[in-house]
Chain A
Amino acid sequence: MGPEHWVDLHGDCLYRYALLRLRSPELAADVVQETFVEAIKGKRAFAGRSSERTWLVGILRHKIADHFRRAKRAPLNGLTSPPEDDFDHHGRWRKMPASWRGEPSRALESREFWDVFSGCLARLPHILAEAFLLRELEGVGSEEIRQRLGITAVNLWARLHRSRSLLRGCLEENWFGAARRPAVGEQTSRYAKGSVRS
């Protein structure tokens, strides 16, 4: 089976994945090319342990990681804080999640929402994004992701949790209206009390 066939079979899928992470069509096409070249070199090593697609996406992930390492792209504002920052030393919310204005499910019908959403996704640090996309985009089970990335279950869950917190915060800031503070008299729990800044 010739390489042409490979490109036709998997090219679109790899390209879309790369585009989601890199947001530049040129860059995405570049890493897809690098991925196929690398794949051809390692064809013998493949040995059919996983599906061809899984194997290629694995190489692509490494190529994207290389890109981020080279570019040393710093995550943008709001996506840099360590997880502990969401909570004080008692484990209480420092800043309570805002009530999202509008009907969130309606947002899914808006084109602008998807621009914001993919913008937020692209801003996730790579180490988090690869775990998160495997889990939430491709729907791969925890156990398999754990093995593919070679990390412990606890580490995986921590990465997924962190990804969700960052994405949530990014959407709140850029779409659901962060400026809104809890209204006077709005009920807060005893855990959140005192941590709501007004």
Chain B
Amino acid sequence: MNRIFRAWRVFNAPCREMARLASESLDRKPDRVEQMALRSHVIYCTACRRYTRQITFLHIAMEQLADRMEMAPPLPEEARAAIKQVLRDSPGSFS
């Protein structure tokens, strides 16, 4: 009975909960009830469908950003030299 009640609640959750669920699906595996609820909700809810699609796009963009970071400018040479100097002079420095 409890399970049925929970399923009923998940399926009837408002957009606020569906948006939360859409986000959490990117961070944890939703259970079957949640999965089905979200899938059926976005069939008729334009707003949540867009939201889900757009945060998935963010996810892809962040993956690409991680690759692009490799090509981002490195620590400038002067800064690198200055940091090394500071570390050499630092009392806690190890020889």
Contact = CB atoms under 8 A, between A and B. Distances in A.
Interface of A: 2-4, 6-8, 11-12, 14-17, 19-20, 25, 29, 32-33, 36-37, 40-41, 43, 86-87, 90-93, 96-100, 104-105, 108, 114, 117-118, 135-139, 142, 153, 156-157, 160-161, 164-165, 167-168, 171-172, 186-192
B93 A188 contact: no
Interface of B: 13-17, 19-20, 23-24, 26-28, 44-48, 50-51, 54-55, 57-66, 68-69, 72-76, 79-80, 82-84, 86-88, 90, 92-95
Contacts of A37: 86-87, 90
Contacts of A99: 50
B23 A160 contact: yes
A3 B62 contact: no
A156 B24 CA distance: 10
A118 B58 CA distance: 12
Given A25-B76, A135-B27, A87 B14 contact: yes
19 contacts: A3-B94, A7-B75, A7-B83, A16-B72, A29-B79, A37-B86, A40-B87, A90-B14, A92-B14, A92-B15, A104-B54, A157-B23, A160-B23, A160-B26, A161-B20, A164-B23, A164-B26, A164-B55, A191-B48
A15 B75 contact: yes
Given A114-B68, A136-B62, A97 B54 contact: yes
Nearest to B44: A189
Contacts of B93: 3, 40
Contacts of B46: 96, 186-189, 192
Given A16-B72, A117-B65, 5 more contacts: A33-B83, A108-B64, A188-B47, A191-B48, A192-B45
Given A87-B15, A92-B15, A160-B23, A168 B58 contact: yes
Contacts of B26: 160, 164
